[in-house]
Amino acid sequence: MEAAYSKLWLDYKPLDITFSGSLAIRCLKGVRRDCAAVSELITALSALLPQAELTFGADSASYIVELDIGGYLGPEDYTLSADERGATILGGSETGLLYGVFAYTRELITEGGFTRISRRVSPALPLRMLDHWDNADGSIERGYSGSSFFFKNGELIISDRTVHYARLLASVGINAAAINNVNVRGDAVRFITPDYYRKLDMLGDLLERWGIKLYLSVDFSAPMSVGGLPSADPLDPRVQSWWKDKAAELFRSVRGLGGFLVKADSEGQPGPYAYGRDHADGANMLARAIQPYGGKVIWRCFVYNCSQNWRDTRTDRACAGYNTFAPLDGRFDDNVILQIKNGPMDFQIREPVHPLFGVMKQTNTAAEFQLAQEYTGQQLHVCCLIPMIKEILAFKTYNGRDKDTVLDMISGAAAVSNTGDSFCWTGSELAGANLYGFGRLCFEPSLPAEDILDEWISLTFGQNEELKEKLLFILLGSRDAYESYTVPLGLGWMCKPNHHYGPDPWGYEFDRWGTYNRADRDAVGVDRGPGGTGYSELYYPPLSDIYGSADTCPDELLLFFCRVPYTHVLKSGKTLIQHIYDSHFEGCEQAEEFARLWRSLEGSLPEQVFKNGCERFREQLRCAAEWRDIVNAFFHRLSGIPDEKGRKLY
């Protein structure tokens, strides 16, 4: 029977080399023969070199791969050295060794055979996490790749797909997975009850074999919903002892448990505010309950008022996360990690980097990205996020530290997963690059986006230079194209309400979500400078000054920070209105070029992949034209300013 899922970048195919010798794997010291590193190496070598005889330990073999565990390395570090006669992979633990094996395999495939390698690698970020928004009933919030492969009708599913999932994550170095939605609903509330322990234990054990800790999103009010207490007040001793007992039971019953992920006081989820407590009170209470077991609380900073009055121009959602958490810096326990969305709003195609990254100097933090393409084309449009993630990690906060980038400030990164039970896991094959790239960047953030994609293409589709060149062109240009034909200049939110797909310029304008563009006949954008909402002041100088004025604000964020007339001249020399018109036409043309290039790949890609891509490009072009025509018509009708190129604007 054919598998119900693709192996993605782990579909090892025979190497195009002649190797008629014998191969041996030699396990030194503490390396157990049945650990994941050894099993992965066997899987890889027997598929890559099917004609070679593979043995254990034979000194006479013509090529020997030696596996070792070395105490002087960090547990997730590895060293890799290889030449034509053999390779030595040394891990700081079995997990480090596993990462070394995956790196070695990657190298064999991308180099097309045995090669010289010498490298030592330590992951840049200790926490590298995937957050699934899967619900217990099998649906996925903002899921664009089918249903959940973790849950169905309230049951936890463990199958061969789960094993392949763990291998995929481990192969790119992801070491934590929160398997359920941060909006904890339905049966998921009861995941922390004995009903689920047996299956959770099996899953935790399975994941741990591949170096991955299992996290659960929990309901902050579980003492009430699960425990039947009258309150979930974090300072109430009964609540504290309920969580302590619960933690003891959970960590005793579920192997591989890493801790909890919590969305509190956000979009209807319960939290400490209900009891007049703050987020440090809430997070620390949970952290203390799981601290004896080495558990961590990943606490989200996505806290804002989602019942705003659109007439109120002073309240600014962008300020909310900062205002909530910056005053609490230094009050969080060591096993709390604050998870901060990459921007202050909500995963728009362009936002400034969240100002909390710079200011939380005494708190463990992690950056949160969204691979699920909620606002970035829902995996129907190609939108490669790797350059964006790189940009954010490299962003200088100017917070006075010698090392002051986002990457320097954080100890982890998490991404909302774009996976589901579709054949190719991510709905669109090209969206697989985001999953791959996220993991690779968390491990080795200095890798250029182009190298990561080059690697992903070789591993996924094989070594074909023309294919690579075209896919690289599409992927590397895709974010700019998407931004150009949707909402350029940092404006955001012109999508249809609720499902967030397709254009609706005033869809979020007169609503309660704090998501306004304030467009009228003369001007557009939100004044977030010192005379406006003051958001620009949340950055350290010189950023506060740069963002605070239309003269200095970078064009790509202009309408996020400033309200400017349509006749305002951008740094490019164009007027704002002309830029809006042009970018919509240009973005669509880029998308057309991507679709044309994709079509030219017929025969170079597996038929199913090619057809799936064609359908998605057809939809992308349809939708991009809608964006172009509706957004351009919107601004044309409001401003009354014609296109200087005389194109039809409706």
Question: Using CA atoms, how far apart are residues 620 and 601, in angstroms rounded to an integer?
Answer: 18
Question: Using CA atoms, how far apart are residues 300 and 279, in angstroms rounded to an integer?
Answer: 10
Which among 89-97, 177-185, 324-332, 603-611 is the span making contact with ligand GCV, rule CB under 6 A?
Answer: 177-185
Q: Which is nearer to ligand GCV, 142 or 636 (CB)?
A: 142
Q: Which is nearer to ligand GCV, 349 or 453 (CB)?
A: 349
Please tell me whether residue 183 binds ligand GCV under the rule CB under 6 A.
yes
- CB 104, CB 117: distance < 8 Å: yes
Catalytic residue among 267, 450, 602, 644: 267
How many CA atoms lie less than 13 Å away from 316 in the CB half-sphere? 23
Q: In angstroms, what CA-CA distances link 310 with 63, 317, 501, 518, 639?
A: 69, 11, 22, 10, 22
In three-state secondary structure terms, 438 is helix
Please tell me whether residue 131 binds ligand GCV under the rule CB under 6 A.
no
Please tell me whether residue 593 binds ligand GCV under the rule CB under 6 A.
no
Q: Which is nearer to ligand GCV, 79 or 348 (CB)?
A: 348
Q: Which of 69, 177, 182, 290 binds ligand GCV (CB under 6 A)?
A: 182
In three-state secondary structure terms, 482 is helix
Please tell me whether residue 142 binds ligand GCV under the rule CB under 6 A.
yes
- CB 277, CB 235: distance < 8 Å: yes
CA 134 to chain centre: 15
Which among 143-151, 180-188, 451-459, 586-594 is the span making contact with ligand GCV, rule CB under 6 A?
Answer: 180-188
Q: Tell me how far, at minimum, the Cβ of 324 lies from ligand GCV, in Å.
A: 14
Q: Tell me how far, at minimum, the Cβ of 517 lies from ligand GCV, in Å.
A: 18
Restricting to residues 283-302, which ones interact with ligand GCV according to CB under 6 A?
A: 302
Q: Tell me how far, at minimum, the Cβ of 267 lies from ligand GCV, in Å.
A: 6
Q: Which is nearer to ligand GCV, 92 or 143 (CB)?
A: 143
Kindly write out the interface string for residues 80-119 of this chain, putting x where it contacts ligand GCV by CB under 6 A and - elsewhere: ----------------------------------------
Q: Which is nearer to ligand GCV, 88 or 181 (CB)?
A: 181
Restricting to residues 369-428, which ones interact with ligand GCV according to CB under 6 A?
A: 374
Restricting to residues 247-266, which ones interact with ligand GCV according to CB under 6 A?
A: 263
Packing angle, helices 449-461 and 465-485, rounded to 10:
130
Q: Which is nearer to ligand GCV, 343 or 437 (CB)?
A: 343
Q: Tell me how far, at minimum, the Cβ of 119 lies from ligand GCV, in Å.
A: 37
Catalytic residue among 107, 131, 201, 346: 346
Joined tokens for residue 402: 């010698």
Sign of CA dihedral 3, 5, 8, 10: negative
Question: Using CA atoms, how far apart are residues 224 and 237, in angstroms rounded to an integer?
Answer: 14
Known catalytic residue: 201?
Answer: no
Q: Which is nearer to ligand GCV, 346 or 582 (CB)?
A: 346
Q: Tell me how far, at minimum, the Cβ of 355 lies from ligand GCV, in Å.
A: 18
Q: Which is nearer to ligand GCV, 26 or 300 (CB)?
A: 300
What is the residue whose two structure tokens read 């570090």?
Answer: 77
Which among 175-183, 227-235, 455-463, 619-627 is the span making contact with ligand GCV, rule CB under 6 A?
Answer: 175-183
Please tell me whether residue 643 binds ligand GCV under the rule CB under 6 A.
no
Q: Tell me how far, at minimum, the Cβ of 315 lies from ligand GCV, in Å.
A: 18
Report the DSSP beta bridge partners of residue 25.
56, 65
Catalytic residue among 316, 374, 455, 537: 374
Please tell me whether residue 141 binds ligand GCV under the rule CB under 6 A.
yes
Q: In angstroms, what CA-CA distances link 194 with 190, 197, 199, 511?
A: 8, 5, 10, 42
Q: Which of 102, 114, 133, 456 binds ligand GCV (CB under 6 A)?
A: 133
Question: Using CA atoms, how far apart are residues 365 and 420, in angstroms rounded to an integer?
Answer: 28
Q: Tell me how far, at minimum, the Cβ of 302 lies from ligand GCV, in Å.
A: 5
Known catalytic residue: 589?
Answer: no
Joined tokens for residue 94: 């079995």
Which among 55-63, 178-186, 192-200, 328-336 is the span making contact with ligand GCV, rule CB under 6 A?
Answer: 178-186
Please tell me whether residue 628 binds ligand GCV under the rule CB under 6 A.
no
Q: b/e per residue, 200-228, with b = 16+ CB within 10 A?
A: bbbbbebbbbbbbbbbbbbbbbbbbebbe
Helix ranges (H only) for 210-316 are 222-225, 237-253, 279-290
# of chain residues touching ligand GCV (CB under 6 A): 11
What is the residue whose two structure tokens read 């049945």?
Answer: 34
Q: Tell me how far, at minimum, the Cβ of 263 lies from ligand GCV, in Å.
A: 5
Q: Tell me how far, at minimum, the Cβ of 239 lies from ligand GCV, in Å.
A: 24
Q: Which is nearer to ligand GCV, 133 or 443 (CB)?
A: 133
Q: Tell me how far, at minimum, the Cβ of 144 lies from ligand GCV, in Å.
A: 12
Known catalytic residue: 267?
Answer: yes
Q: Tell me how far, at minimum, the Cβ of 321 lies from ligand GCV, in Å.
A: 12
For residue 542, whether the previous peptide bond is cis, meaning omega lies within 30 degrees of 0, is: yes
Q: Which of 107, 134, 346, 483 binds ligand GCV (CB under 6 A)?
A: 346
Q: Tell me how far, at minimum, the Cβ of 133 lies from ligand GCV, in Å.
A: 5
Residue 255 CB: number of other CB atoms within 10 A?
A: 16
Kindly write out the interface string for residues 474-493 of this chain, putting x where it contacts ligand GCV by CB under 6 A and - elsewhere: --------------------
What is the residue whose two structure tokens read 């920070």?
Answer: 561
Q: In angstroms, what CA-CA distances link 380 with 373, 491, 603, 625?
A: 9, 22, 22, 14
Which among 24-32, 181-189, 568-576, 633-641 is the span making contact with ligand GCV, rule CB under 6 A?
Answer: 181-189
How many CA atoms lie less than 13 Å away from 486 in the CB half-sphere? 27
Element (H, E) at 449: helix 449-461
- Amino acid at site 518: R
Bridging pattern class, strands 151-152 and 155-156 = antiparallel
Q: Which is nearer to ligand GCV, 49 or 380 (CB)?
A: 380
Closest CA to 342 of 428, 449, 441: 441
Q: Which is nearer to ligand GCV, 267 or 450 (CB)?
A: 267
Residue 640: phi, psi to the nearest 5? 70, 10
Q: Which is nearer to ligand GCV, 341 or 628 (CB)?
A: 341
How many CA atoms lie less than 13 Å away from 537 in the CB half-sphere? 9
Bridging pattern class, strands 257-262 and 296-300 = parallel
Question: Using CA atoms, how far apart are residues 364 and 103, in angstroms rounded to an integer?
Answer: 29
Instruction: Write the secondary structure of 354-390 as one string of H (helix), E (strand) and C (coil).
Output: CCHHHHCCCCCEEEEEECCCCCCCCCCCCCCCHHHHH
Q: Which residues bind ligand GCV (CB under 6 A)?
A: 133, 141-142, 181-183, 263, 267, 302, 346, 374
Active site residues: 267, 346, 374
